[in-house]
Structure 1
Amino acid sequence: MTAQPTMAAAIDVALLRLRRMWARPLRSRGDRPVHMSNVMVLHAVDKLAGACDEVTIGGVAEHLDVDPSTASRLVNDALGAGFVRREASLVDARRVRLVVTPKGRRVLDVVTRYRREYLESLIADWDPADRERLATLLGRFAEAAAARPADSARLDELITEALRDEVPG
């Protein structure tokens, strides 16, 4: 059964295309690739550092809207790449805090600058009102998605159901 094309379908296709574009590993010569997940961790640690006393893996998990175990894996990858480091907590001796390293700061700055310049180039010939409308609506869309995340448990159920062996009818 194929559903009729809808506005949601068009948005879904566009988002998949954009995700593929942004999710590609960012290559560097001689070093391991910089993954978008590294940039996401850097962004989270940087943003949280300006908003709270100490950045923890739990804070990164919440900011990225992922499970703590996933955040731990992502942070460990960023640690291994030398983009963040652990330091003793200044508040609780049993905890550690995360800090962006100078190498991580350089990567975050260059990736952010490049992405913004690239986005500017894509819409450079657009009418200013269209550019503003895109920014406003995309921000609104992102806020709606953050406020009402997809039900991953329901999606897991649907996938499990779809993968079941067909029952002869």
Structure 2
Amino acid sequence: MQRSAARTIDEALIKMRRIWAPVTTGRPGANRRPVDLSTVLVADALRRIPWSPSVKEIAQHLGVTQTTTSRLVARAVDAGFVVKRPAADDVRRSELALTPSGVQLSQASMSFRFSYLEQVTRGWSDAEITTFATLLQRFATEVVAHPPDPTRPREDFDPSAARSASSSTGDG
């Protein structure tokens, strides 16, 4: 990959991460507490998994540790979006499910995301949207299949070149 293309993709990914922060924090939840992105992600995982999953299964879906997922699920339970109950087949295991408020959160979040995507692609042709969707899905599939290993930096990475590039774009 050409370094300029890699830099463009990197900058775009950083910008895309920023789009979710303002809309997922500070909104009141079922108990009038703010809803954060992690609660939305837990609710979304529960909506997508077609059975009542365990914390371990949610962790696998989200790609985070089971310990982290336990904290995220506890927060979603405390906020009234998720219910945790003993599994019917094994009382040592818990199953998770969305509450009516959790279903509403998941639907509202999905509606917001779709509306936002329609807004930011308003001037795009159907062909451009289809191409973008295909390439983004291909990229996401590769990212999931080959997660980054932060313990193994690239041998050809030049930190000074990265610093000078980010300072010239105003991101550093």
Superposed pair shares fold, TM > 0.5? yes
- The CA distance in 2 between the partners of 1:152 and 1:58, in whole Å, is 24
- Secondary structure of 2:19's aligned partner: helix
Extract unaligned runs of 5+ from structure 1.
156-169
8 Å Cα contact 2:46-2:96 kept in structure 1? yes
Shift of 1:132: 0.5
1:73 to 58, 71, 74: 71
TM (normalized to structure 1)?
Answer: 0.81
Alignment-mate amino acid for residue 97 of structure 1: E
Cα displacement string for residues 2-22 of structure 1 (whole angstroms, at most 9, x for unaligned residues): xx9521111111111111111
Shift of 1:115: 1.1
1:1-169 mapped onto 2 (5 Å cutoff): 6-24=4-22, 25-29=24-28, 31-48=32-49, 50=50, 52=51, 54-154=52-152
Aligned pair count? 149
**Which stretch of the first structure deviates more once superposed, 4-13 or 57-66?**
4-13
Cα displacement string for residues 105-138 of structure 1 (whole angstroms, at most 9, x for unaligned residues): 1011011101101111111221111011011111
RMSD: 1.8
**Which stretch of the first structure deviates more once superposed, 19-28 or 133-142?**
19-28
- The CA distance in 2 between the partners of 1:61 and 1:153, in whole Å, is 22
Cα displacement string for residues 76-114 of structure 1 (whole angstroms, at most 9, x for unaligned residues): 111111110111201112111001110011011011101
Extract unaligned runs of 5+ from structure 2.
154-172
Shift of 1:75: 0.9
Structure 1 runs (4+) deviating above 4 angstroms are none
- The CA distance in 1 between the partners of 2:47 and 2:34, in whole Å, is 21
Cα displacement string for residues 27-86 of structure 1 (whole angstroms, at most 9, x for unaligned residues): 3358222111111111112212x1x4x300100110011111111111111111111011
Change in Cα spacing, 1:66 to 1:152, as seen in structure 2 (3 Å) is farther
- The CA distance in 2 between the partners of 1:29 and 1:94, in whole Å, is 33
